[in-house]
């Protein structure tokens, strides 16, 4: 169907939905919608490359992202429940225990996330089981795995957070460059699975 231009308001009793159609399979995906009550959902506004399966396959692990552009500010958010992931040695990558699955928590790109200016990590539930000293690194490679040393990658520490406690919030001392991957690492040695721990990571960027 060709583009259609209306001079007056468009009205619908059932709401509006924006979709995409897979050219091969014909499968329909919802990109955004406004329901009949006026609730807007931006389903496609997530990281273009989300966490590796070494994060998302954890038992009880929750991982969600959102990316939103308002005016000239681009906000990227990552919400993660650490339950089911594992910490090991100091400086090692957090992820599902004993696997060779990729354990980054998403990739930052200039096209989607803008040039990152600042970031923060807030704790909404204190980590338990695994080590509470959780840091964030960025790395050029997206191949890091659980129990792997972050120092084996081309990496930069973004925040050396110390122990996460309920309500604690720390700010990034450095920011990820374009196309880098984010990792959670431990700042101390505790070889155990997390049974609790909810973190909220927020990055603020702009289109250069």
Q: 177 pLDDT exceeds 80?
A: yes
The pLDDT of residue 27 is 82
How would you label 47-84 residue by residue, b for 16+ Cβ within 10 Å and e otherwise? Answer: bebbbbebbbebeebebebebeeeeeebebbbebbbbb
The pLDDT of residue 149 is 97
Task: Determine how many CB atoms are found less than 10 A away from the CB of residue 143.
Answer: 15
* Rounded mean pLDDT, 186-193: 96
State the pTM of this model.
Answer: 0.88
Do 21 and 122 sit in the same domain of this protein?
A: no
pLDDT band at 89 (very low <50, low <70, confident <90, very high): very high
Q: 2 pLDDT exceeds 70?
A: no
Do 115 and 192 sit in the same domain of this protein?
A: yes
CATH code assigned at 154: 2.60.120
Do 58 and 37 sit in the same domain of this protein?
A: no
The pLDDT of residue 26 is 81
The pLDDT of residue 150 is 97
Do 89 and 161 sit in the same domain of this protein?
A: yes
The pLDDT of residue 11 is 75
The residues facing 184 across adjacent strands are 136
The predicted-structure confidence for 4-62, as pLDDT tens digits, reads as follows: 787 877 777 777 777 778 888 888 877 766 776 666 666 678 999 999 999 999 999 99
Do 147 and 60 sit in the same domain of this protein?
A: yes
Number of domains in the chain: 2
Do 69 and 169 sit in the same domain of this protein?
A: yes
Q: How far apart are CA 36 and CA 26, in angstroms?
A: 26
Q: Supply the range of the domain harboring residue 202.
A: 53-206
Do 87 and 150 sit in the same domain of this protein?
A: yes
Do 1 and 63 sit in the same domain of this protein?
A: no
Do 147 and 181 sit in the same domain of this protein?
A: yes
Do 102 and 149 sit in the same domain of this protein?
A: yes
Q: How far apart are CA 58 and CA 95, in angstroms?
A: 8
Q: 87 pLDDT exceeds 90?
A: yes
Do 128 and 183 sit in the same domain of this protein?
A: yes
pLDDT band at 70 (very low <50, low <70, confident <90, very high): very high
Q: How far apart are CA 122 and CA 173, in angstroms?
A: 15
The pLDDT of residue 1 is 57
The predicted-structure confidence for 111-156, as pLDDT tens digits, reads as follows: 999 999 999 999 999 999 999 999 999 999 999 999 999 999 999 9
Do 74 and 177 sit in the same domain of this protein?
A: yes
């Amino acid at each position: 169907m060709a583009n259609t231009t209306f001079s007056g308001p468009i009205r619908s009793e059932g709401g509006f939905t924006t979709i995409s159609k897979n050219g091969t399979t014909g499968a329909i995906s919802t990109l955004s919608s406004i329901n009949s009550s006026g609730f807007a959902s931006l389903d496609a506004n997530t990281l273009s490359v989300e966490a590796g399966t070494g994060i998302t396959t954890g038992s009880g692990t929750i991982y969600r992202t959102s990316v939103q552009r308002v005016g000239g500010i681009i906000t990227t958010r990552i919400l993660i429940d650490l339950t089911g992931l594992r910490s090991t040695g100091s400086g090692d990558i957090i992820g599902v225990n004993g696997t060779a699955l990729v354990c980054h928590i998403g990739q930052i790109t200039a096209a989607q996330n803008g040039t990152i200016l600042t970031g923060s990590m807030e704790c909404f539930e204190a980590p338990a089981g695994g080590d509470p000293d959780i840091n964030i690194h960025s790395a050029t490679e997206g191949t890091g795995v659980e129990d792997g040393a972050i120092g084996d990658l081309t990496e930069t520490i973004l925040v050396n957070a110390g122990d996460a406690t309920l309500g604690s919030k720390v700010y990034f001392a450095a920011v990820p460059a374009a196309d880098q991957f984010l990792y959670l690492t431990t700042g101390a040695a505790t070889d155990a699975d997390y049974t609790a721990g909810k973190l909220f990571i927020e990055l603020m960027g702009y289109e250069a």
